[in-house]
Amino acid sequence: MNYNEKILLLLASMLLIINYVETMVVPALYTIQKDFGVSSNLAGWVTTSYMIVGAAASPIMGKLADVYGKKKLYLLAILFYNIAVSLAGFSPNIYFLIFARAIQGLGFAVFPIAISIIADLYSKERLAYAQGILSATLGIGPALGLLLGSYIVEYLGWQAAFHTAAILSAILLILSFKYLPITGKKVRESIDYFGSIILSISVGLFLVYLTLGSQYGWFNLSIIYLFTSILLIILFILYEKRIKEPLLKLEYFKIKNFAAANIIGIFSGIAMFSLFIFFTYYSQIPKPEGLGLSIIESGNIMSPISLGMLFFGPIIGKILPKRGPKPVIFLGILLSIISFILLIINRGTIIDLLFDGIFMSVGLSSLLIPIVNMVSISLPAEYRTTGLGLNTLLRSLGSAIGPILSTTLMQTYQVPLIDYLNNQYLVLGFLPSSTAFNYIGIFGIIFMIISAIFALFIENYKISEKQINMSH
């Protein structure tokens, strides 16, 4: 293992821990709710607070990394994450836990900074392979979180998951401080703090609206958050056009590949997390509407996705330089559409679901890796981390919309859970119907078709075989 591969392993390990912890919280929410004696809506903010801060902070932390140095900001992000995850495991009440989770959101900026560091270390022909390893953590981490998290929550308690993550992240912080190189050139620019604040508040209000709207209705008083968010994003665009050193030069959106990567990132993010919700709920709800599996068995269902991304991510990374991002993205879209079709017509058994998951794992790998690669290559090196931070923000918006869309469909299309007792039928509650899951699959197909339309505008590039051979 050479030096670059050791650094790649170090970065991938940190991303894996972060993505694992964030998904581990999902099966733990009900236990957290019971332990603190709070409502499900309040407990839901354990995930929402992290998501809001993480999405809003990514482009800002990326800009700071371009100005002050990537290693410094990477270490700072891990430090915030380590402190917050350590505190989370000792939370005395739900409000303290929500606060700790919000601080953890700053660690979300690790991903764009890590991708940018790798872009500085690897040549163009090897970059996609390295990015494939890092991108695979976006699928492996959540799958491990659902799988291992289910065991930890059930047998050790949700606090143990935070404790183990705190220890591991502290070790990686020390190793990163010692071994992570200083890469890239610093940009001699001032920080656009006003623009950063406007963007952060706008994104935060939009995510708050999505959260409250899904709980209390889309047209209640929470719609004020949506209108305010829209006004602020308009103000942000107007302000960024006027100042000399903006947070992100808006003219970069005129670069076809940069614009296409970000738009496809949103829709693929919606589809990806809709899929996770589909697998999690469908596998657990009682038959005949679902498979009636336990939480642990449901976690096991996610294994083909994680193993598939682990196996196919590097392969896609090797294909990408030779074929270019455009055909690889269309491959990912095609496989994702096939997967959603299979989830609609072929989900009757565990084996069926595992088979469907394999198609999706290859499809997701074929989408995520080219998206990140296009952003890395399209922008000047000195603005790369900022651009990757923005791409992370937009994919996070998609990741937030996906579960909300899926749960809304599951609340809209329901069937009664009936039991026969004392010679009469009793309605015990309501469950998502098969129609709800079919609609999730249909919407997934629609989002992939939209992604395909924007993929038509990608300007393909590839590294010649001669260049690849010269690099070895």
What pLDDT does 472 receive?
36
Residue 61, pLDDT score? 87
Both structure tokens of 207 = 């995510």
Tokens of 418: 């009936």
Following DSSP, what letter does each residue of 221-281 receive, concatenated?
TTHHHHHHHHHHHHHHHHHHHHSSS-SS-GGGGGSHHHHHHHHHHHHHHHHHHHHHHHHHH
Taking residues 112-123, what's their average pLDDT? 86
**pLDDT of res. 86:** 94
Per-residue pLDDT at 170 exceeds 90: yes
Q: Two tokens at 16?
A: 């894996």
Give dist(CA 125, CA 129) in Å, integer.
Answer: 8
Residue 420: predicted pLDDT = 56
CB-based contacts of 378: which residues, under 8 Å, 6+ apart? 252, 255, 257, 258, 261, 387
Please give the share of the chain, as a percent, with pLDDT higher than 70.
90
> What integer is the mean pLDDT of 260-284?
84
Asked whether the predicted pLDDT for residue 115 surpasses 80, the reply is yes
Query: Region 453-468: what's the mean pLDDT?
Result: 76
Indicate the residue type of 168: L
Quote the CA–CA distance of 104 and 50 in Å, as a whole number: 6
Q: What is the pLDDT of residue 465?
A: 46
Q: What is the pLDDT of residues 291-341, one digit of tens each?
A: 888 767 776 776 666 677 777 777 888 888 888 999 999 999 999 999 999
**By C-alpha distance, which of 52, 60, 50 is closest to 18?**
50
pLDDT in the model for residue 318: 83
pLDDT value at 24 more than 60: yes
Domain boundaries, the chain: 3-192+245-471, 193-244
- Report field, pTM of the whole predicted structure over 0.85: no
Residue 148 confidence (pLDDT) above 70: yes
- Would you say residue 405 has pLDDT above 90? no
Q: So what's the pLDDT on residue 187?
A: 72
What's the pLDDT score for residue 50? 84
Provide mean pLDDT across the span 175-193: 82
pLDDT for res 468:
41
Mean predicted lDDT score pLDDT of the chain: 83
Spatial contact of 112 and 371, defined as CB atoms under 8 Å apart: no
CATH class of this structure's domain 3-192+245-471: mainly alpha
Distances, alpha carbon 375 to alpha carbons 16, 49, 109, 262, 268, in Å: 22, 27, 16, 8, 15
Confidence of residue 367 (pLDDT cuts 50, 70, 90): confident
Buried b (16+ CB within 10 A) or exposed e, 196-214: bebbbbbbbbbbbbbbbbb
